[in-house]
Chains A and B, each alone.
Chain A
Amino acid sequence: MTKSGQPGISRRSTLALMGAGAVTVATPWVARAQAKTIKIGMPTILSGRVAQLGTSSRNGVMIEVDKVNAAGGLAGRQIEMVIRDSKGQPQEAARVARELVNTDGCELLLDGEASSGSFAVHEVARDLGVLCIHTCSEASSLTADPKQHIPNAFRSVRQGIHDSIVGGSYAAAISKAKGLKKWATCAPDYAYGRDTTGEFTLYLKRFAPDVEIISDSWPKLFQPDYTEVVTKILQAKPQALYTCLWGGDLTSYIDQANIYAMFAQMEVFAVNMADYTALTVVKNLPKGIHSGNRYIKTFPATPENAAWGDAYKAKYNEYPTNWSWQNATAVMLLSEAARKANSTDGKKIAEVLAGLTIKCPFGADGTVTMRGDDHTLIGYAIGWGTTIPQEPYVPEVKAGDWKTILELEAEWKKSKGYT
């Protein structure tokens, strides 16, 4: 059998060309993969009441990107960050993420969204297959739930379940020592508040079984007036209060509870207190609020962490937030993975990222690990302590034990049907 000998392009070649064209249109970052600079897209919240989340995330990324570029770039390619405002709306976050890849030609994504937006960006990453690192969402199910698992998505963030295990254990020890049996809770009425409170009380009761929750309050997110919540808690007369209010909501709550002298009447455990955003804004910070560490330059108490916090303050004239270190860690992980893979190809980086351990100023032992099986960060510094109204704000932090955290996390995953 002979070929037809017709001039022009054969049917097979045409199909191959069409196929290549389709792939190029659908995955434009492939076509641009060899450009000199590498664009990394980042949807985050740059306007609205939590705009500080986005700006401190951007700052955390940029401080590390500048270092990577100064050292020769990501596997030899200079990084160009393309950072866009999602306004904190999930549908906008998904749209922006898609646009960053399809229109702007970003080859990698850093997802600087709060939990609600992260799940939306996660679906974009699933659809486009682009490497994505979630840098802000603490919702445990984002990586714990196997239904969410995709090979190209990772999370460089503390997890709600880790905080709850450490917080529950810390609070239970104080409960036993001081005889705090009657507890109240106060949390913002949305997924984060409900989940975190549920997980905290689960471990509090596990470690101190005689604890009883006698009152719970669920103010709206961004509620301006907490008077009725404060007086309701005062009426219940608990011995201790747990709250996961955060940011401006937490500072409002403290100001309003302060004039009722609430902090003198009970022990207060506020997981989000020890972040500079809240610590530096509250003018009359009561002494002795128990808090989880968010970002404190004195914990871990290492020269590397202190130097990083000071460098950030020198550059941006404010201290880093919890989101800053998480975003910085994402760039550190990317940089090391690209170096080891000697490539900026998302798939190759993902292969190295899974299970990668790097030196990091925020690590409990000076390192953090991107766990291989569920693509989430472990080994970061995590602990609780009590606040004072001036620097260092949390003079002593009781560090959580990662061996216990991982054991209990495995149990929790099993109980949720995740493993």
Chain B
Amino acid sequence: MDLDALTGCLASSACLVTQTTSGFIIGMLLFLVAVGLTLIFGVLKVVNFSHGAFYMFGAYFAMTAYQLTGSFALAIFCGAAGTAILGLAFERVFMSRVYGGDVLMQLLVCYAFVLIFDDVVKLIWGPEFKSMGMPAAFQVPPLFIAGGVVPPYYLLLIGVALAVAAVLGVGLARTRIGKVIRAAAHNPGMVSALGINTGLIYGGVFALGGMLAGLAGALAAPVRSLTPGMGFSVLIESFIVTVIGGMGSILGALIGALLIGMIRSFGSLGFPLFTDGLMYLFMVIVLVARPTGLFGKEVA
């Protein structure tokens, strides 16, 4: 425990800016993965343990597109679009067969595909780790804001994640398709009786969830090494975020992700040997105080 370092940082604007930005960066990537997870659970009532694989595919798709075209924008698009198509196919062919079934069966299908997807990546891209490299446009010196260090690439990353949060929030609350999705989550039988194709809704939500994880993978690719199985560690932290925020809540995922980001960022200064422990401790406290998570709703 190093409380002096923590209090020293809180008293310094430079440190405060650097660590807060660092917390935002960690949190925003987690949010993009966790929001897909929570969306799929909220609508389909499926805990998608294979969600980390979409993050992995997003990173690999982006790296390949970047190597082929040299365009970072196209790389991000390919990462997101590729995983959306993969998510749709996965849902239609496999997951749709286990809806409403035994939870254990859903878990087994998801876990089987964690292993299968890892091996597919190994077959296509090889078992060794890869690096995409930072696009030339972002190979620039960091910005100094109030003495704190802020890399421009991370500003882009935070901006994209916040835009996704806003579009999802507004889209689900205000648009017709958003209302249909929420209705399908609440009472799929009634939605189907009204002549709406719920299979299409489910497939679309799964594709959207996969796309968001793929987008996170594509955005992370320039700064993280790419390996088969890279989605697993992200998945664990995303589950923590989802549980803290409340399963099925988009706002919960955003707040949960930011809280985890800040805990990691400031915890590494004050509690360097207990940073991971702090995350779990916080999760336990939230669950004891609010078993459904910060923004979760009681199950009727």
Contacts and interface: CB of A to CB of B under 8 A. Distances in A.
A161 to B, nearest CB: 25
Of B142, B224, B234, most buried by chain A (CB within 10 Å of CB) is B224
Of A55, A224, A255, A258, most buried by chain B (CB within 10 Å of CB) is A224
Contacts of B272: 216-218, 232
B134 A283 contact: yes
B29 interface: yes
B79 to A, nearest CB: 16
A52 B226 CA distance: 13
Nearest to A232: B268
A259 B224 contact: no
A255 B223 contact: yes
B224 A225 contact: yes
A222 B134 contact: no
A228 B264 contact: yes
Contacts of A218: 272-273
B131 interface: yes
A281 B22 contact: no
Interface string A35-55: 000000000001111011001
A49 B15 CA distance: 34
Given A48-B229, A222-B233, A227-B265, A255 B29 contact: no
Nearest to A225: B26
A127 B228 CA distance: 36
Contact of A259 (B131, B138, B276): B138
Interface residues of B, number: 46
A67 interface: no
Interface stretch (B70-78, B149-157, B173-181): B149-157
B132 A283 contact: yes
Nearest to A48: B229
A301 interface: no
A239 B220 CA distance: 29
Nearest to A227: B22
Interface string B109-133: 0000000000000100001111111
Given A218-B272, A227-B25, A235-B15, A255 B131 contact: yes
Interface in B202-261: 220, 222-225, 227-230, 233-234
A281 B268 contact: no
Interface string A203-229: 000000000000011101011110111
A17 B227 CA distance: 55
A284 interface: yes
B100 interface: no
A49 B58 CA distance: 18
Interface string B4-45: 010001000001001100100110010000000000000000
B141 interface: yes
26 contacts: A47-B122, A47-B127, A49-B227, A49-B228, A55-B128, A220-B276, A223-B233, A225-B26, A225-B264, A228-B19, A228-B264, A228-B267, A228-B275, A231-B18, A232-B268, A235-B19, A247-B129, A255-B222, A259-B153, A260-B151, A261-B141, A277-B129, A281-B128, A282-B131, A283-B133, A283-B134
- Which are the 6 A-B pairs with shortest beta-carbon distances? A283-B133, A248-B129, A248-B225, A51-B127, A259-B151, A228-B268
Interface of A: 46-49, 51-52, 55, 216-218, 220, 222-225, 227-232, 234-235, 247-249, 251-252, 255-256, 258-261, 277, 281-284
Interface of B: 5, 9, 15, 18-19, 22, 25-26, 29, 122, 127-134, 138-139, 141-142, 149, 151, 153-154, 220, 222-225, 227-230, 233-234, 264-265, 267-269, 272-273, 275-276
Given A46-B127, A259-B142, 17 more contacts: A49-B129, A51-B122, A51-B128, A216-B272, A220-B276, A224-B233, A227-B25, A231-B19, A231-B265, A231-B268, A232-B268, A232-B269, A234-B149, A235-B18, A235-B269, A256-B224, A261-B142
